Structure 1
Amino acid sequence: MIGDIRVCFIGDSFVQGVGDPEHRGWVGRVLEATGGDVTAFNLGIRRNTSEDVLRRCRLEMLPRTLPGGDNRLVVSVGSNDTMHEDGTVRVDPARSVGNVASILDDCRRDAISPLVVGPPPVVDAGEEHLRRTAELADAMAALCRARHVPFIATTLELAGDPIWTREAMAGDGAHPGSAGYRRLAELVLAGQWHDWITRAHSPVRPSGSSPGTPTQR
């Protein structure tokens, strides 16, 4: 039984569900399969890197939380971080991991329960981009293990999925259609999603902390 939960989903175009003609993406499908009294907010923005998401996360998340309530955050970033732009990656891998760590730090301070979904692959970006994204996903997974935060891997799982790759190449080379997003939703649902969303979350902040006013980074 799922009680009154507020969940913010934040990240890039994959979170936003770009390319899905049904306009549900993986977020909508996961919520549909979850049921219960869940109030959800999709805060995905196309081309956002972990740097962009860190900058706006707390500003956008806190007004959508319920004081003293069961507040959650799902964050998925990294596919844009590892893209080459002007001869280099958009965000250095160590900085990407540090950005996710800062988001998790904010969650702990604000008594918000986080879950991290790994970066999906960009099919037409080539093998080097896939390698960089997979390495970043591994580093994010290690960070989450150290913080006891659920992490759901998607990068290599989708890179080898014929439905995801076929739909992405039939579209803009990055974003799948409905069936591809269904595959991503299945990965999330088969991962730690159920245990995380049904686990009681105690809205107790660490001693000496308070939600405060979100500040621009």
Structure 2
Amino acid sequence: MRRLRYVALGDSLTEGVGDPVAGGWRGWAALLAAGLVAEGTEPAAEFRNLAVSGALTKDVLRTQLPAGLALRPDLVSVVVGVNDTLRRTFDIRTVAARLNEVYAATVGQGAVLLTACLPDPGTMLGLPGALAQPLARRQRAVNAVVHALSERHGALHLHAGEGDWVTDRAMWSADRLHPGERGHRQLAARSHALLAGHGIARGPAPSTEPCSPAPTRSASLWWLATAGTGWVARRCTDLLPQLLSLAADELRHAARGTSTRLDLHASAAVSSALAALAVGERREAA
């Protein structure tokens, strides 16, 4: 009997950062893979995690997708986009075009597609409002695109961008951007329930209870003072000048009472990006 093949594409979230095991990271996708087939009745699922920390949508499209499809998977998860929002080159139309191509190629080969939306990084990092709002607006735009394209391509979509798990610190690792073991288990369990509801996951659901103790406060502070500082510094060289400009614009609109214009502009950009994809598809079909 041929094994069910599951390929995971994405960035550090899917790579498993925040859920350490001996020799590296585990993460929600690996936990999900263990519960895809019934115990004792079928061969275990064949799982390949191609996600890479720091990956952008262009990396998934250009590198991970071809490698993943070459494995002829039955199930493909694609969770990416947060890193795009943290770049000064962020453009929702480009992000939408890349995701559309990835989704289309995946379902076009006959694989089941699993997607998810995510919380915004500004809120998770606890940034001041003027700095957090531009990042939140970008992540909402990415989530809106993921929602729309998931529906268009018949993907199974996990709404993970909001809810109690986002504000529960016990779910998150010291860096505040990646789930800890408990958070990864939560994502795995919710993904399993979604797949089980469509007859795809037939094994036991992943436990939501962690096996390892949560990091101590001192360990979290040590991470923030060492590795965390480096993480912020690497992003600041690219994003900080633009983010400060966006924050100044945020403050100006707030002072004038016109902040809704920024939200409307972001919504219009999403609509334009999706409309451009529809026009392109009609031209290809003609």
Specify the TM-score bucket, using the shorter chain as the normaliser.
Answer: 0.7 to 0.9
| Bigger proportion of residues as helix | 2
Give the corresponding residue for 2:29.
27
Give the corresponding residue for 1:159.
166
Q: Structure 2 counterpart of 1:149, which letter?
A: A
Pairing of 1:59-138 with structure 2 (within 5 A): 59-65=66-72, 71-83=74-86, 85=87, 88=88, 90-122=89-121, 123-124=124-125, 126=127, 127-128=132-133, 129-138=135-144
Larger radius of gyration: 2
Give the direction of change, closer, same or farther, for the CA distance of 1:186–1:161 in structure 2 (3 Å limit): farther
- CA–CA distance in structure 2, aligned partners of residues 131 and 192 of structure 1: 29
Q: Structure 1 counterpart of 2:11, which letter?
A: D
Give the corresponding residue for 2:156.
150
Give the direction of change, closer, same or farther, for the CA distance of 1:12–1:95 in structure 2 (3 Å limit): same
Give the direction of change, closer, same or farther, for the CA distance of 1:192–1:112 in structure 2 (3 Å limit): closer
TM-score, normalised with respect to structure 1? 0.74
Give the direction of change, closer, same or farther, for the CA distance of 1:143–1:196 in structure 2 (3 Å limit): farther
For residues 67-124 of structure 1, give each alpha carbon's deviation from its aligned partner in whole angstroms, at most 9, with x where no partner exists: xxx62211111111111x3xx2x43122212211101221243233322122354321
User: Matched residue of 1:156: which SS?
Assistant: coil
Q: 1:39 aligns with which of 37, 43, 46?
A: 46
- CA–CA distance in structure 2, aligned partners of residues 12 and 148 of structure 1: 22
Task: State the Cα distance separating 1:140 from its structure 2 match.
Answer: 0.9
- How much is the aligned-residue C-alpha RMSD, in angstroms? 2.5
Q: Structure 2 counterpart of 1:95, which letter?
A: T
CA contact (8 A) 2:37 2:201 kept: no
Q: Structure 2 counterpart of 1:197, which letter?
A: I
- CA–CA distance in structure 1, aligned partners of residues 144 and 181 of structure 2: 27
Between 175-184 and 125-134, the greater mean CA deviation after superposition:
125-134
- CA–CA distance in structure 2, aligned partners of residues 121 and 25 of structure 1: 19
- CA–CA distance in structure 2, aligned partners of residues 31 and 42 of structure 1: 10
Say whether residues 1:58 and 2:65 are aligned partners. yes
TM-score, normalised with respect to structure 2? 0.58
Runs of 4+ in 1 over 4 A off after TM superposition: none
Pairing of 1:1-12 with structure 2 (within 5 A): 4-12=3-11
User: Matched residue of 2:162: which SS?
Assistant: helix
CA contact (8 A) 1:3 1:38 kept: no
Percent identical residues: 24
Gaps of 5+ in 1: 200-217
Gaps of 5+ in 2: 39-43, 203-286
Kindly tell me the number of residue pairs found equivalent between the two proteins: 186
CA contact (8 A) 1:134 1:156 kept: no
Which protein has greater RCO, CA pairs closer than 8 Å, 6+ apart? 1
Give the direction of change, closer, same or farther, for the CA distance of 1:57–1:190 in structure 2 (3 Å limit): same
- CA–CA distance in structure 2, aligned partners of residues 125 and 101 of structure 1: 31
